[in-house]
């Protein structure tokens, strides 16, 4: 195996953090995280993503009402996506997901933490759009709280590599 690079430490350290210290997040950090999202792959390079950086405590307090993961966060990135098709079909959900993961990893690389909040956004979808002034033709795909974690949660149960990996064909057990 070649020597592991820091990237894999970031991947392993990333956890969904829902409890944050109150210290503010510098705007440069938030912009760097958004820039990482923007670097993510995009089907047909359609680039239908936009972002709202939220640092206003009044707006954060209102976001906190839609998810416990947003309650203590000093900042958040709201990811927007235009639900448009490319000439090869619709890829906007995939574009949105790729960007969110890039942002979560970027946050960890910069010493912060986040959480992919999408389920609870769906539960309060109309209220979220109204509170952020999001126009009807743009979807809110997820909100990522950003801050310093109070603690890094324990790694939840996940399958092992052996549980989910096949070699050369479905059910293939080894490389020969």
Per CB under 6 A, does 156 bind ligand FMN? yes
Among 12-20, 31-39, 48-56, 124-132, the segment contacting ligand FMN (CB under 6 A):
12-20
CA 149 to chain centroid: 15
Q: What are the b/e assignments for 106-139, b being 16+ CB within 10 Å?
A: bbbbbebbbbbbbebbeeeeeebbeebebeeeeb
| Binder among 54, 60, 69, 103 for ligand FMN (CB under 6 A) | 69
- The minimum distance between CB 132 and ligand FMN, in angstroms, equals 16
Per CB under 6 A, does 116 bind ligand FMN? yes
CA 87 to each of CA 42, 43, 46, 161: distance values in angstroms, whole numbers, following the listed order: 13, 10, 10, 36
- The minimum distance between CB 42 and ligand FMN, in angstroms, equals 18
Question: What is the Cα–Cα distance from 176 to 157, expressed in whole angstroms?
Answer: 30
Binders of ligand FMN among residues 27 to 66 (CB under 6 A) are: none
Among 3-11, 54-62, 115-123, 165-173, the segment contacting ligand FMN (CB under 6 A):
115-123
Per CB under 6 A, does 16 bind ligand FMN? yes
Among 55-63, 86-94, 105-113, 117-125, the segment contacting ligand FMN (CB under 6 A):
117-125
Q: In the chain, count of helices (H) and strands (E)?
A: 8, 6
Per-residue tokens: 120: 């609870």
Task: Match 């999408």 to its residue by tokens.
Answer: 118
Per CB under 6 A, does 133 bind ligand FMN? no
């Amino acid at each position: 195996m070649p020597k592991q690079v820091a990237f894999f430490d970031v991947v392993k350290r990333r956890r969904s953090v829902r409890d944050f210290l109150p210290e503010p997040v510098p705007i440069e950090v938030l912009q760097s995280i958004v820039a990482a999202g923007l670097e993510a792959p995009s089907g047909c390079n359609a680039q239908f993503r936009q972002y709202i950086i939220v640092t206003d405590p009044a707006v954060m307090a209102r976001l906190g009402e839609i998810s416990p993961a947003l309650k203590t966060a000093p900042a958040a990135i709201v990811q927007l996506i235009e639900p448009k098709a490319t000439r090869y079909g619709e890829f906007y959900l995939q574009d949105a997901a790729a960007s969110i993961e890039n942002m979560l990893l970027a946050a960890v690389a910069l010493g912060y933490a986040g959480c992919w909040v999408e389920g609870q956004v769906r539960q309060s979808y109309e209220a979220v759009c109204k509170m952020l002034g999001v126009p009807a033709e743009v979807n809110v795909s997820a909100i990522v709280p950003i801050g310093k974690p109070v603690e890094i949660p324990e790694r939840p149960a996940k399958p092992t590599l052996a549980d989910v990996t096949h070699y050369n064909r479905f059910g293939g057990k080894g490389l020969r």
